[in-house]
Every structure is written in C-alpha cells, then in structure tokens.
Copies of this chain bind each other. A is one copy, B any other.
C-alpha cells in the first residue's frame, strides 16, 4: 500500500476500529472530534482548515456542525441511510455528501430473509425447546414460505436483493414503491394499503425521509392479515412502534422481525416480552466483510475528492 495522502480528515463520533484504521492508513492527519476534550476551542482553532469530514449515519452531521466548518467541501458518511445528515443544507453550501450504498445490500437482504425465516419457522422457540431439553413430544407446526406472498415496500437495490432471495424460496413477490420499476418483473401494487392487504410477509426496505415517517401506522397494520408478519430492516422511524405493539398484542398480525427501532439502542420495549417477535440490534450490515467494504468506500470517496476526481458514490 502507498503512503498515506497528505490530507486532513475530521472524524465525527465514535467510529469502529475497522473504519478508523483504514482512515489512518489512507490520510496523514486524522482528528477524532469525540476524543478532543475542548471541542469548541478545537473547532475555533482548526475549523477553518477542515475541508473533509468522515461521519456515519448513526452519528450524523447537523446544520450547526456544518456551520462550524466554514471551509468544508465534503462529508463522507459510513452507511447507506443519510437521514441524520442535513444534506439539503450541505448542498446549499456547495458541500458534497457521499454514502456507502450497494456494498451492504447482500447483508441487509440476508437479514430481512433471516428474520422472515425466523418468524415463520419460530426459530427462537425451536432452539430454546431443544436446548432446554423440552423436546419430548412434537414441536408445533410452523408456516411455510413457499407460495406465500412477499410484499416489499421500497424496491430499491436492497428491495431487489430481498426479492431475489424470497423468489429463490418459492415466494410470490409483489411490491409498492413511489414509482413502478420497469426493470423488475415483480407485480407492482399501486398503493401501500393494497400491498399490506395482500402480503403474508410485509418487508420494509424504504429510506427514512420526512414522507416515510410512520408510513406503517395503525391504519396500515389494520389492513394486514392476522396471519401476516412485518419485517423491518429499513429504519425504525418508518414504523409507528406504539401502533405495532398494539397490533401484536391484539393479534391483528401474527408477528414481527425487527432490526431497527424508533429509539436506538432500544433497551426497553413491550416487544421484548413477545414470543412471536424476533429482534436484532440494527446489525443488518454488521459483518466483518461488509463493514470493511463500507469503510473502504468512505476512504475511496475521500481519496477521489482529494485527488480532484469524480466521487464514487455521491448523493
């Protein structure tokens, strides 16, 4: 590997060793704002020099933070979502923003599929049943995936990756999206209400925006079949969690598999007591391989920026 670039990158928040290690390999000066005691003083002294920031979607980048860096030209974010970054304001200021799309599609789609399997086949209960020595009679019958309707909300790259897996499992794929996607063969459903009605498994794979906030609310949950499951690997904000809890309590839907929550980390919830709910700690992209690929993509974007080349994955 070549010497690091003579360049300064300000890192926001606590970031992983993988990510920090790669940044240090690639760039001569790395400031970690989270580890600087007097942040105000640091920003006053150095803010005017900083042209590049590395952050992640769970840390984000506010308008105030952008304002503290008058010379800022690029925000390179780790993660595919960017709801915590004030992208509009950054663009007004002429600051470029990059994210890390696509490299995490496989892992996120795997997580959606795994949660689908786990709720349908009651994997958590089955494993406990065996490991606690309770397997003396037959375990109750569970639910097949094959021939079931997999309704995907949001047919972006991640939605497509989920569809591919669900199709291989013999499911019938339907989807709703703001616009119909001409390059996919799956049946387009014009409204979310209708998608919710038809789906045996309703899988959320849409971005978090102002418009998608609580898009899954009591009204939509009411439309779902009592035998249907909700799977969310998108963002917690797209589901009205209180309404979901009510719907699960009243057995209006059969269960849920959730990787994301309205408040994260989620350390307290009525969901924790529910047997028909499988929960994971927003770890869909959390594999060694994918996190490394994401960190590499952040660095590539920054390298292209410093070399005055077109960015790899600009927003």
Contacts and interface: CB of A to CB of B under 8 A. Distances in A.
Given A106-B170, A123-B123, A165-B168, A286 B141 contact: yes
B266 A130 contact: yes
A130 B165 contact: no
A124 B115 CA distance: 11
Contacts of A267: 133-136
Given A145-B110, A281-B126, A286-B141, A266 B121 contact: no
A77 interface: no
A44 interface: no
A251 B107 CA distance: 25
A184 B130 CA distance: 35
A41 interface: no
Interface string A115-139: 0011011011011011111111011
A167 interface: yes
A174 B191 CA distance: 42
Interface stretch (A4-12, A287-295, A300-308): A287-295
Interface string A131-168: 11111101101111111000000000000000011011
Given A135-B265, A169-B113, A142 B106 contact: no
B110 A146 contact: yes
B114 A121 contact: yes
Interface stretch (A27-35, A209-217, A272-280): A272-280
Contacts of A167: 168
A127 B278 contact: yes
Instruction: Work out how many copies of this chain go into the complex.
Output: 2
A198 interface: no
Contacts of A64: none
A289 B288 CA distance: 37
Interface string A261-272: 000011110001
A286 B169 contact: no
A89 interface: no
Interface of A: 16, 106-107, 109-111, 113-114, 117-118, 120-121, 123-124, 126-127, 129-136, 138-139, 141-147, 164-165, 167-170, 265-268, 272, 278-281, 283, 286-291
The 9 closest A-B pairs by CB, nearest first: A168-B168, A114-B117, A106-B146, A144-B289, A130-B279, A135-B265, A144-B287, A126-B280, A131-B272
Given A139-B286, A142-B288, 18 more contacts: A106-B144, A106-B169, A109-B169, A114-B118, A118-B127, A126-B283, A127-B279, A130-B266, A130-B272, A130-B280, A133-B268, A135-B267, A136-B265, A141-B287, A141-B288, A143-B289, A144-B287, A144-B290
17 contacts: A110-B121, A110-B144, A123-B280, A126-B280, A127-B278, A127-B280, A131-B272, A131-B279, A135-B267, A136-B265, A136-B267, A138-B281, A142-B283, A142-B286, A142-B288, A143-B287, A165-B165
